[in-house]
Amino acid sequence: MAEEERDETQQEGTEEGAKKKGKGKLIIIIVVALAVLGGGGFFAYSKFLAPKKESASEEAKKKEDIILEEQPMLFDLQPFVVNLADRGRFLKITIKLELIDQKYEKLAEARVPQIRDAIITLISSKSADSLSTPEGKFQLKDELLMRANSATGRDIFKNVYFTDFVMQ
């Protein structure tokens, strides 16, 4: 009787062992299949669907084309001698305006009287104290740029340069 029980437990153990081996093989097969499918999907995405990166030489060429499209140039204005808001104080200033493209040079030349008037009006409203600091000069540049662009009716100037700035 004891032998019969042992035989029954051994048979049950071998059946359970066979089931465990079958499940283990199935899990291994599923893991391998998922790994192969994942690798294939990654390869297909990177080869066919991923956005293509341009080479460095192509990017540099595009930047050169953009630069070549715009031809900035400096537009000279005659020197200004303007009375400041302070009595007895004046400013001698020479300004160069940077055009965003040389094709706007004729428009700027046609609007020189309006540009000069806007500049004189702005500078004559300033005090010597406000123009003597670096912050005051930067603010004046911003205001001059805005006034010059509004005098032409378009945003054709992108920067203002002081080539001479004498206050007395």
Q: What is the CATH number of the domain that holds 101?
A: 3.30.479.30
As a dihedral over the C-alpha atoms of residue 45, residue 48, residue 50, residue 53, rounded to 10 degrees, the angle is 140
Q: Is residue 121 part of a domain?
A: yes
> What pLDDT score was predicted for residue 24?
82
Which residues are within 8 A (CB) of 122 and not within 5 positions of it... i.e. 6 or more apart?
140, 143, 144, 147
Distance CA 21, CA 10 (A): 16
Is 95 found in the same domain as 162?
Answer: yes
How many Cβ atoms sit within 10 Å of the Cβ of residue 148?
A: 25
> What pLDDT score was predicted for residue 161?
96
> What pLDDT score was predicted for residue 135?
95
> What pLDDT score was predicted for residue 70?
73
Query: Digits of tens for pLDDT over the chain (168 positions)?
Result: 555 555 555 555 555 555 666 788 888 889 888 888 888 878 777 777 766 665 666 666 666 665 556 789 999 999 999 999 998 999 999 999 999 999 999 999 999 999 999 999 999 999 999 999 999 999 999 999 999 999 999 999 999 999 999 998
Structurally, how many domains does the chain consist of?
Answer: 2
CB 134 within 8 A of CB 106: no
Provide the CB-side half-sphere exposure for 58 (13 A, CA): 4
Which residues are within 8 A (CB) of 145 and not within 5 positions of it... i.e. 6 or more apart?
97, 157, 158, 159, 160
Q: Is residue 78 part of a domain?
A: yes
Is 10 found in the same domain as 93?
Answer: no
> What pLDDT score was predicted for residue 16?
59
Q: Report long-range pairs for 110-114 (Cβ below 8 Å, ≥24 apart).
A: 111/151, 111/152, 111/153, 112/77, 114/151, 114/152
> What pLDDT score was predicted for residue 19?
62
> What pLDDT score was predicted for residue 80?
95
